[in-house]
């Protein structure tokens, strides 16, 4: 595969995992793991051998310093990784049920000014852009930066710059209401304003990855063909559904693929991000508008194996696979393709 730089933009944070079936706010033992979807994708791509640049902001604290050191060890270009001296690295409380499935319970560490990932500086990105974006083919983004005014300005600048320089954009919709609202709520549905902000960037993307629930909430359909048809540039669309089959429209290829179930599931945190990293890895070796049915199936197969592998370990990053891990898993169980 020809090595091309990928830029990943967005939040990096700490997932504070409670014990299975327990409350991460009060129950022990706790496990602090590096996380944040765009950071997970960057680390996943680097483990697969891809040149990655990461844009975000971390606090000037031990979590932030250790996270940056991890990325440096992974070989990630951290020229776009800012350090905030006023805001801490965000800690996310993650509740896990006894089957390893997780939900987000709120945050810890806010000292009154919010978190570092909410204050990514557009001006600093503009200054650092030449050393971040050299040779970049894809910009990989989520939607959480849109939830904060400062990070949203930086986010939208990067999208515009990527478009103007010929990059393709991959979006993981990644709807997380906890990040958008000041108080915890049991209402997970996006409101009209939240939908409007997120849909404002969809017209610019080449690829959308989203869960079945997100697809229904934002598009009233979980059919990738129907979702793509509602957007002006007809992007490729991948719809995941936990352990249920994945459906996709990649270029003009439509299909479904059964998920791979690992022999043991420890923690599902980061499985979707490993899946995204797998998709982007495969897309780097081909042109999106030239993909046929067989190539599309191989892309999804590979991505499914990446996601399944992560579920076997704790946290989103330490458990990410190398290429030989994915090959071994695929040789055992590639799922049923239709």
* Residue 21: per-residue pLDDT: 79
48: number of Cβ within 10 Å = 24
pLDDT per residue, tens digit, the chain (338 aa), is 444 589 999 999 999 988 887 877 777 888 898 999 999 999 999 999 999 999 999 999 999 999 999 999 999 999 999 999 999 999 999 887 776 666 777 899 999 999 999 999 999 999 999 989 988 999 999 999 999 999 999 999 999 999 999 999 999 999 999 999 887 777 899 999 999 999 999 999 999 999 999 999 999 999 999 999 999 999 999 999 988 999 999 999 999 998 777 767 776 778 899 999 999 999 999 999 999 999 999 999 999 999 999 988 877 788 999 999 999 988 875 444 33
* Residue 100: per-residue pLDDT: 61
- From CA 179, how far away is CA 176, in angstroms rounded? 6
- Tracing tokens 């049915």 back to the chain, one arrives at 293
CA 43 remoteness from chain centre: 10
Beta sheet of 91-96, edge-to-edge order: 31-35, 13-17, 91-96, 102-108
My answer on whether omega of the bond before 93 falls inside 30° of 0, hence cis, is no
Going along the chain, which residue ranges are E strands? Answer: 5-9, 13-17, 31-35, 52-59, 77-84, 91-96, 102-108, 136-141, 168-172, 207-211, 236-241, 244-250, 253-257
Per DSSP, the residues of 23-71 read -TTT-S--EEEEE-HHHHHHHHHHHTT--EEEEEEEESSHHHHHHHHHH
| Length of the chain, in residues | 338
pTM given for the model = 0.92
Q: Which residues lie below 8 Å from residue 10, measured CB to CB, with a gap of 6+?
A: 36, 37, 38, 39, 55, 56, 117, 141, 142, 144, 145, 155
* Residue 73: per-residue pLDDT: 96
Residue 80, helix vs strand vs coil: strand
Q: Specify burial of residue 94 (Cβ count, 10 A radius: 0-12, 13-18, 19+).
A: buried
* Residue 119: per-residue pLDDT: 97
Q: Which residue ranges form the domains of the chain, and what is each CATH number?
A: 5-332 (3.40.1190.20)
* Residue 4: per-residue pLDDT: 59
- From CA 213, how far away is CA 188, in angstroms rounded? 10
């Amino acid at each position: 595969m020809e090595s091309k730089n990928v830029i990943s933009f967005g939040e990096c944070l700490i997932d504070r995992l409670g014990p299975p079936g327990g409350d991460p706010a009060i129950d022990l033992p706790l496990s602090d793991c590096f996380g944040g979807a765009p950071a997970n994708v960057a680390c996943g791509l680097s483990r697969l051998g891809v040149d990655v640049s990461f844009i975000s902001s971390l606090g000037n604290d031990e979590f932030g310093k250790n996270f940056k050191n991890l990325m440096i060890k992974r070989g990630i270009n951290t020229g776009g990784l800012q350090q905030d001296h006023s805001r801490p690295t965000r800690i996310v409380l993650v509740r896990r049920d006894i089957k390893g499935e997780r939900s987000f319970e709120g945050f810890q560490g806010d000292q009154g000014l919010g978190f570092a990932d909410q204050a990514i500086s557009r001006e600093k990105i503009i200054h650092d852009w030449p050393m971040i974006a050299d040779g970049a083919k894809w910009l990989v983004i989520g939607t959480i930066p849109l939830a904060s005014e400062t990070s949203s300005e930086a986010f939208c600048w990067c999208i515009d710059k990527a478009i103007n320089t010929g990059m393709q954009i991959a979006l993981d919709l990644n709807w997380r209401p906890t990040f958008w609202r000041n108080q915890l709520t049991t209402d997970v549905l996006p409101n009209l304003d939240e939908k409007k902000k997120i849909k404002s960037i969809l017209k610019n993307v080449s690829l959308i990855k989203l869960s079945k629930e997100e697809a229904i909430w934002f598009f009233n359909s979980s059919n990738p063909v129907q979702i793509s048809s509602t957007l002006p540039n007809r992007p490729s669309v991948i719809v995941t559904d936990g352990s249920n089959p994945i459906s996709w429209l990649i270029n003009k290829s439509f299909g479904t693929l059964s998920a791979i179930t690992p022999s043991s599931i420890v923690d599902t945190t980061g499985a979707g991000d490993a899946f995204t990293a797998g998709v982007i890895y495969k897309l780097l070796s081909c042109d999106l508008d030239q993909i046929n049915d067989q190539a599309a199936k191989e892309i999804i197969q590979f991505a499914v194996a990446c996601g399944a592998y992560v579920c076997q370990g704790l946290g989103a990053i330490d458990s990410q696979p190398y290429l030989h891990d994915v090959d071994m898993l695929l040789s055992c169980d590639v799922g049923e393709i239709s």
